[in-house]
Amino acid sequence: MPRTILSTADLRRPVVASAGVRAFARGGYHGTTIADVAREASISPAYVIKLFPTKDRLFAAALDACFDQVVDALEAGAAAAADRSPEGVLDAMGGAYAALIADRTLLLLQVHAQSVAELPEIGEAFRRGLERVVTLARERSGADDAAVQRFVAYGQLCHLLVAGGMVDLAEPWAQLLNAGIRHPD
């Protein structure tokens, strides 16, 4: 059976996309340049442009890499669930996600993506990632649509609370929003 030999570009694309996750998470779409991502990847800006001809494609590739990690974590959570009921599997997936976003990089990239989802390539990548999460949650848990919707909704509320620095607030309104939400440690 012949072996597939990857080109240097094929090998570097995932490295650059991963660097894009970190760079865009720090600066957002508007505050991050291709040169910033190149610096993070330790390659030239010209080579980044060769791999990803537009900033939108680069951001979309970073978002795809982000959702790859999210789906992998959710899959691992589902596989490790001690309680195999739909609720138990979704709970285990939620725990795995909370652990994953303890490093806020992936969370912040998703928040930044939401803010520029009107850009066609980025919006498409965001929707594609969310579709993967919803499909995985439905298939792995066997939960009904309402439970899957709640799972995603609570995940988004967790994003809002963590990104907005509201996790440890003692005010009653913040406590109400945080009740029952598992946050990263």
What are the chain's domains?
A: 8-178 (1.10.357.10)
For residues 97 and 155, is the Cβ–Cβ distance under 8 A? yes
Could you tell me which of 29, 22, 101 has the C-alpha nearest to residue 65? 22
Look up residue 83 and give its two tokens. 């309680």
Look up residue 48 and give its two tokens. 């980044």
Long-range CB pairs of 46-54 (<8 Å, 24+ gap) are 47/12, 48/16, 50/9, 51/9, 51/12, 51/13, 51/16, 52/13, 52/16, 54/121
Q: Is the pLDDT of residue 168 over 70?
A: yes
For residues 74 and 97, is the Cβ–Cβ distance under 8 A? yes
Q: Is the pLDDT of residue 5 over 80?
A: no
Q: Is the pLDDT of residue 6 over 60?
A: no
- pLDDT tens, position by position, 36-54: 999 999 999 999 999 999 9
| Gap between the Cα atoms of 86 and 92, Å rounded | 10
Could you tell me the pTM of the whole model? 0.91
Estimate the crossing angle of helix 145-163 against helix 105-115, to 10 degrees.
100
**Strand spans (E) along 103-143:** none
Q: What is the pLDDT of residue 163?
A: 86
